[in-house]
Amino acid sequence: MTPLIFIALALAGGIGTAARMLLDGIIKSRVSSGIPWGTIVINVSGSLVLGLLTGLASDQILPESWHLVIGTGFLGGYTTFSTASFETVRLIQERRWALSLFNCLGTLVLATAAAGLGLWIGGLI
Protein backbone atom coordinates (compact mmCIF):
# COMPACT_ATOMS: atom_id res chain seq x y z
CA MET A 1 0.00 0.00 0.00
CA THR A 2 1.40 3.35 -0.99
CA PRO A 3 1.43 6.34 1.38
CA LEU A 4 -1.11 8.10 -0.87
CA ILE A 5 -3.53 5.15 -0.70
CA PHE A 6 -3.08 5.02 3.08
CA ILE A 7 -3.91 8.72 3.44
CA ALA A 8 -6.89 8.40 1.08
CA LEU A 9 -8.13 5.38 3.02
CA ALA A 10 -7.91 7.26 6.34
CA LEU A 11 -9.67 10.33 4.93
CA ALA A 12 -12.37 8.16 3.37
CA GLY A 13 -12.94 6.48 6.75
CA GLY A 14 -13.46 9.85 8.38
CA ILE A 15 -15.86 10.94 5.66
CA GLY A 16 -17.76 7.65 6.00
CA THR A 17 -18.09 8.17 9.75
CA ALA A 18 -19.40 11.71 9.23
CA ALA A 19 -21.88 10.42 6.63
CA ARG A 20 -23.10 7.77 9.07
CA MET A 21 -23.63 10.33 11.83
CA LEU A 22 -25.48 12.66 9.46
CA LEU A 23 -27.76 9.98 8.00
CA ASP A 24 -28.49 8.45 11.40
CA GLY A 25 -29.42 11.87 12.75
CA ILE A 26 -31.72 12.57 9.81
CA ILE A 27 -33.48 9.22 10.20
CA LYS A 28 -33.83 9.57 13.98
CA SER A 29 -35.36 13.04 13.57
CA ARG A 30 -37.99 11.70 11.15
CA VAL A 31 -38.79 8.22 12.49
CA SER A 32 -39.97 7.64 16.03
CA SER A 33 -39.66 3.93 16.72
CA GLY A 34 -38.15 1.43 19.12
CA ILE A 35 -36.33 -0.07 16.15
CA PRO A 36 -32.98 1.60 15.38
CA TRP A 37 -33.85 2.27 11.73
CA GLY A 38 -30.88 4.55 11.18
CA THR A 39 -28.36 1.84 11.94
CA ILE A 40 -30.30 -0.73 9.92
CA VAL A 41 -30.50 1.55 6.86
CA ILE A 42 -26.81 2.41 7.16
CA ASN A 43 -25.64 -1.20 7.45
CA VAL A 44 -27.91 -2.48 4.67
CA SER A 45 -27.01 0.34 2.27
CA GLY A 46 -23.31 -0.05 3.08
CA SER A 47 -23.53 -3.78 2.38
CA LEU A 48 -25.24 -3.11 -0.95
CA VAL A 49 -22.55 -0.64 -2.02
CA LEU A 50 -19.72 -2.92 -0.86
CA GLY A 51 -21.21 -5.80 -2.84
CA LEU A 52 -21.47 -3.57 -5.91
CA LEU A 53 -17.87 -2.36 -5.53
CA THR A 54 -16.63 -5.90 -5.05
CA GLY A 55 -18.45 -7.04 -8.19
CA LEU A 56 -16.96 -4.18 -10.18
CA ALA A 57 -13.48 -4.82 -8.80
CA SER A 58 -13.77 -8.56 -9.51
CA ASP A 59 -14.47 -7.79 -13.16
CA GLN A 60 -11.61 -5.26 -13.12
CA ILE A 61 -13.96 -2.37 -13.93
CA LEU A 62 -13.02 -0.64 -10.69
CA PRO A 63 -9.32 -0.35 -9.84
CA GLU A 64 -8.31 -2.22 -6.69
CA SER A 65 -7.04 0.99 -5.10
CA TRP A 66 -10.54 2.52 -5.38
CA HIS A 67 -12.07 -0.68 -4.03
CA LEU A 68 -9.75 -0.42 -1.04
CA VAL A 69 -10.32 3.28 -0.39
CA ILE A 70 -14.10 3.24 -0.84
CA GLY A 71 -14.80 -0.28 0.45
CA THR A 72 -12.45 -0.40 3.42
CA GLY A 73 -12.12 3.32 4.11
CA PHE A 74 -15.44 4.99 3.43
CA LEU A 75 -17.72 2.00 4.01
CA GLY A 76 -15.66 0.84 6.99
CA GLY A 77 -16.37 4.19 8.61
CA TYR A 78 -19.95 4.34 7.34
CA THR A 79 -21.20 0.94 8.49
CA THR A 80 -21.24 -0.04 12.13
CA PHE A 81 -21.49 -3.58 13.44
CA SER A 82 -20.68 -2.48 16.98
CA THR A 83 -23.61 -0.04 17.13
CA ALA A 84 -25.97 -2.69 15.77
CA SER A 85 -24.74 -5.10 18.46
CA PHE A 86 -25.08 -2.48 21.19
CA GLU A 87 -28.60 -1.58 20.09
CA THR A 88 -29.60 -5.26 20.12
CA VAL A 89 -28.27 -5.67 23.67
CA ARG A 90 -30.06 -2.46 24.72
CA LEU A 91 -33.34 -3.83 23.37
CA ILE A 92 -32.75 -7.10 25.25
CA GLN A 93 -32.07 -5.18 28.47
CA GLU A 94 -35.36 -3.34 27.93
CA ARG A 95 -37.04 -6.75 27.51
CA ARG A 96 -38.16 -5.86 24.01
CA TRP A 97 -37.64 -9.39 22.78
CA ALA A 98 -39.31 -9.16 19.37
CA LEU A 99 -37.56 -5.90 18.49
CA SER A 100 -34.19 -7.26 19.58
CA LEU A 101 -34.68 -10.38 17.48
CA PHE A 102 -35.75 -8.30 14.48
CA ASN A 103 -32.79 -5.97 14.92
CA CYS A 104 -30.32 -8.83 15.18
CA LEU A 105 -31.60 -11.30 12.60
CA GLY A 106 -33.31 -8.74 10.38
CA THR A 107 -30.14 -6.72 9.98
CA LEU A 108 -28.12 -9.87 9.29
CA VAL A 109 -30.53 -11.15 6.64
CA LEU A 110 -31.13 -7.77 4.99
CA ALA A 111 -27.45 -6.79 4.94
CA THR A 112 -26.39 -10.17 3.54
CA ALA A 113 -29.11 -10.03 0.87
CA ALA A 114 -28.11 -6.46 0.00
CA ALA A 115 -24.44 -7.47 -0.34
CA GLY A 116 -25.44 -10.35 -2.61
CA LEU A 117 -27.64 -8.08 -4.70
CA GLY A 118 -24.83 -5.54 -5.04
CA LEU A 119 -22.36 -8.25 -6.03
CA TRP A 120 -24.81 -9.56 -8.63
CA ILE A 121 -25.44 -6.07 -10.07
CA GLY A 122 -21.70 -5.36 -10.09
CA GLY A 123 -21.14 -8.55 -12.07
CA LEU A 124 -23.71 -7.49 -14.67
CA ILE A 125 -22.08 -4.17 -15.45
Query: What digits encode the pLDDT tens for the residues 89-113?
Result: 999 999 999 999 999 999 999 999 9
Cα dist. 115→52, 75, 102, 104, 121 in Å? 7, 12, 19, 17, 10
Number of domains forming the structure of the chain: 1
Q: Find out whether 55 is annotated in a ligand binding site.
A: no
pLDDT band at 1 (very low <50, low <70, confident <90, very high): confident
105-125: average pLDDT: 96
Q: Which domain holds residue 48?
A: 3-123
| pLDDT at position 11 over 90 | yes
> Does residue 79 have a known ligand-binding role?
yes
51 with 117: CB under 8 angstroms? yes
Q: What is the pLDDT of residue 125?
A: 85
Using one digit for the tens of pLDDT, what is the confidence trace for 22-81? 999 999 999 988 899 999 999 999 999 999 999 999 999 999 999 999 999 999 999 999
